[in-house]
Amino acid sequence: MRIGLLTEGGYPYAVGESGVWCERLVRGLGQHRFDLYAVGRPSAAGASLPLPPNARLVRAADPEGASGNLLERAALGTARAARRAYGRRDRRRFTEAYERLATGLCAEEAEGTGGARGVSTAGAGGSGAADVGEPGGAAAFAEGLYALAELARERGGLPGALRSDDAVRALEAACRAPGARRGAAAAGLPDHLAFAEHLEGVLRPLSLDWYEEDALGAADLCHAAAGGTTALPGLLAGHFFGTPLLVTEYGVQLRAHYLSAAGADRSAPLRTLLAALHGRLAAEVYRQAALLTPGNAHTRRWQERCGADRDRVRTVHPGMAADRFDGVGEDEESGDPATLVWVGRAEPAKDLVALLHAFAEIRTRQPDARLRIVTVPVRDPGAEPYLAQCRALAAQLFPDEAAGAHAVGENPVSFEELGGPEAPTLEDTYASGAVVVLSSVVEGFPAGLVEAMFCARATVSTDVGAVVEIIGGTGLVVPPRNPRALADACLALLRDPERRYRLGAAARARALELFTVEQNLAAFRGIYLELLSHAPVRHRPGDGALFAHPAEAHVPGSWTPRAVTAGTGAPDA
């Protein structure tokens, strides 16, 4: 099977969780051919991960490049992105298509028609509700989107047209039309210009040269590693060629757009337009995808709120390597019975402040308790100030204590970095303590929690993101921002070794059943075959006669029919 894999962040250039998952998928499903289409900015170093024999990088593009140009043709392919002026006919085609798209973006939901499909963007823009699944607006947006794609494919020149005066005037008219969103109606010229700039970057995949018979047109299936802009080429491949689209999301990209719009220094009308754009695009991707595979129930709920059909949504948990944790925690007596362990990135969302206050309560009731805070190295410039704040708080809450007048004081809270002498590996870190703690106020799919489960560690976690879905009944879960509840749960496990061991063993069994690389690959192996079996047969030039080769010819390895013993119908031994 030929898979067009649309990658997030520019894999095989980018690394991170998405890049690791893509690499495992490509290497694990060696019987399929993967054509990589990288949407996103490569790493600054420009180094790429080595690809296995069944994968090749076909095209790559940076939709957010400051210059507005795609990457060089020599390595990454070409695009129909010339900024030439349209003639009269093409200009009219563009204006009509853009007006449809802008009308769909600005259309306000009718009172009481959204139901469960409506998604409020008040949190993103503070300017009213936007129902990304509202039929009239969604249909107009989709019509305009595909009309622009057809124009770009035939004539090129779309990036320049999206920044033209015609586009700005059409957007202004849509914002002020009867029935437009209240927030959009207040937009001024600076908002229209800023939105046109952003829209050109989001729709740049429409101008790529990927929609040809020798590119995505030759794929049996498009698999997008994220929704939104990453899935847009797959959406167009389905429109032009009928190629089935599979979308895998391990985080809610739409939610990230809403939060970034709310936190940015932008006007309320501009935030309304940006939220509407990403909401409409997400809804169209969810509506057209043959199957959606969210990584957890939290992501699944977002997809369904945005209009995804429940019958086409199937949760597939991300796979993690469990081999490295084999043997950790098998002994009931392993680990310091009075030590709590926290592992993760030092950032405000992890709420280490609440954890330190909870540990202060723990120390008053169990004086021998200790807390190890092991941070993962990151290049985020905001990490160091937050970590320094937490160190200062720990020094204030827990002055260095000495056993006697001639002993050196020691703080019960230690701050270490993963890979250092105190915490050389994750296995050693998790094995050193009795209980692993997660104190976050925001989480998606907390991989560290699964790692602790692989290590047969009892866990205490806050009820955020996919925590409850991961833990099941194998750990204790408390409300976020509640240091007293966090302290009570930790003390309950520190004081009960038998319960700790029982929960840890159950956690390891659950993790091995649900969260391994093997189960993830098995799920996608079956999904690929299922989607292809339901897709219409497409005969391409050069393929030869349909059904000219038996299905067994595609089975890995050699296949030779065995002779049948005459008269018995039984195969020869």
Q: Which residue has the tokens 């997660």?
A: 438
- Which CATH number is associated with domain 324-515? 3.40.50.2000
List the one residue out of 72, 85, 35, 27 whose CA is nearest residue 52.
Answer: 27
Question: Do residues 343 and 376 make contact, with C-beta atoms less than 8 angstroms apart?
Answer: yes
How remote is the C-alpha of 313 from its chain's centroid?
15
Q: 235-244, 420-429, 471-480: lowest mean pLDDT where?
A: 420-429
Question: Distance between CA 133 and CA 117 in Å, rounded?
Answer: 6
Phi then psi for residue 129, to 5 deg, are: -105, 145
Question: What pLDDT shows up at residue 479?
Answer: 97
372 φ, ψ (degrees, to nearest 5): -105, 120
3-state secondary structure of 9: coil
pLDDT band, very low/low/confident/very high, at 389 (cuts 50, 70, 90)? very high
Nearest to 107 by CA among 49, 42, 32, 176: 176
The strand ranges marked E within 87-126 are 119-120
Per-residue model confidence (pLDDT) at position 250: 85
| CA distances in angstroms from 305 to 115, 116, 285, 297, 374, listed in the order given | 9, 6, 13, 12, 37
| Separation between Cα atoms, residue 193 and residue 422, nearest integer Å | 53
**pLDDT at residue 199 above 80?**
yes
Residue 367 scores a pLDDT above 90: yes
**Residue 353 pLDDT greater than 50, yes or no:** yes
pLDDT class of 33 with cuts at 50, 70, 90: very high
Report the alpha-carbon distance of residue 275 to residue 301 in Å, rounded. Answer: 18
pLDDT at residue 219 tops 90: yes
Residue 316, pLDDT above cutoff 80: yes
Burial status of residue 418 (CB atoms within 10 A of its CB: 0-12, 13-18, 19 or more): middle
pLDDT at 12 over 90: no
Question: Helices 517-534 and 17-28, interaxial angle, to 10°?
Answer: 70
Of the listed ranges 347-351, 506-510, 566-570, the least confidently predicted one is 566-570
* pLDDT tens-digit readout, 370-384: 999 999 987 777 678
Share of the chain above pLDDT 70, in %: 78
- The whole-angstrom separation of Cα 324 and Cα 319 is 14
Residue 492: partners with Cβ closer than 8 Å, 6 or more residues away: 476, 499
Lowest mean pLDDT among 176-190, 254-268, 505-519: 254-268
Average pLDDT over residues 130-139: 60
Q: With a cut of 90, say whether residue 255 has pLDDT above it.
A: no
pLDDT digits (tens, 9 = 90+) for 328-349: 866 555 678 999 999 999 999 9
Distance CA 440, CA 427 (A): 22
Mean pLDDT (whole number) for 353-381: 92
pLDDT band at 452 (very low <50, low <70, confident <90, very high): very high
Specify whether the CB–CB gap between 521 and 321 falls below 8 A. no
The percentage of the chain sitting over the pLDDT mark of 90, rounded to a whole number, equals: 55
Mean pLDDT across the stretch 187-204?
Answer: 92
What single-letter amino acid sits at 528?
A: Y
Report which residue type is found at 508: R
Q: What is the pLDDT at residue 116?
A: 37
Select the highest-mean-pLDDT range: 86-100, 200-214, 327-341, 395-409.
86-100
Where are the alpha helices (H) located in 203-266, listed in sequence order? 232-241, 253-263
Residues 537-561 have a mean pLDDT of: 55
pLDDT at 74 over 80: no
542: Cβ contacts below 8 Å, ≥ 6 apart: none
CA distances from 499 to 85, 434, 453, 457 (A): 72, 11, 15, 11
Q: How confident is the model at residue 530, as a pLDDT?
A: 93
Say how far apart CA 96 and CA 89 lie, in whole Å: 11
Which is nearest to 253 in space by CA: 274, 229, 234, 273?
229
**Predicted confidence (pLDDT) per residue in 263-290, tens digit:** 567 888 998 999 899 999 999 999 999 9
Residue 91 in tokens: 């200009």
Compute the distance between CA of residue 2 and CA of residue 32 in angstroms, rounded to an integer.
Answer: 6
Q: What's the chain's average pLDDT?
A: 82
pLDDT of residue 265: 72
Top pLDDT among 288 and 70 is at 288
Q: At what angle do helices 497-514 and 483-494 cross, to 10 degrees?
A: 100
d(CA 279, CA 301): 15
Q: Residue range 522-529: average pLDDT?
A: 95
Q: Model confidence at 92, in pLDDT bands (50, 70, 90)?
A: very high
What lies within 8 Å, CB to CB, of 512 at 6+ separation is 322, 454
Residue pair 424/331 in contact by the 8 Å Cβ criterion: no
What is the reported pLDDT for 443?
A: 87
**Does residue 421 carry a pLDDT above 50?**
yes
The secondary structure of 441-485 as a DSSP string is: SS-SS-HHHHHHHHTT-EEEEES-TTHHHHHTTSSEEE-TT-HHH
- What local confidence, expressed as pLDDT, does residue 57 receive? 87
Map tokens 């065995």 to a residue: 562
Cis peptide before 550 (omega within 30 of 0): no
When pLDDT is averaged across residues 471-500 and rounded to a whole number, the result is 96
433-438 and 336-344: which strand pairing?
A: parallel
DSSP strand E in 91-137: where?
119-120, 129-130
Identify the top-confidence range among 68-72, 421-425, 562-566. 421-425
Residue 517 pLDDT class (50, 70, 90 cuts): very high
Torsion of CA 471, 473, 475, 479, to 10 degrees: 80
Contact 278, 257 (CB under 8 A): yes
Q: Mean pLDDT, to the nearest integer, of 109-120? A: 41
Is residue 553's pLDDT more than 90? Answer: no
User: In angstroms, rounded to a whole number, what is the distance separating the alpha carbons of residues 224 and 6?
Assistant: 5
CB 77 within 8 A of CB 60: yes
Structure-token pair, residue 220: 């049996």
Between the ranges 17-26, 134-143, 450-459, 529-538, where is the mean pLDDT highest?
Answer: 450-459
Q: Is pLDDT at 17 greater than 90 in this prediction?
A: no
Q: What is the pLDDT of residue 43?
A: 52
Quick count: other Cβ atoms within 10 Å of Cβ 90? 17
CB-side neighbour CA atoms (13 Å) of 113? 12
Gap between the Cα atoms of 390 and 348, Å rounded: 10
The residues spanned by each domain of the chain are 324-515
Running DSSP on this structure, what letter comes out for residue 126? S
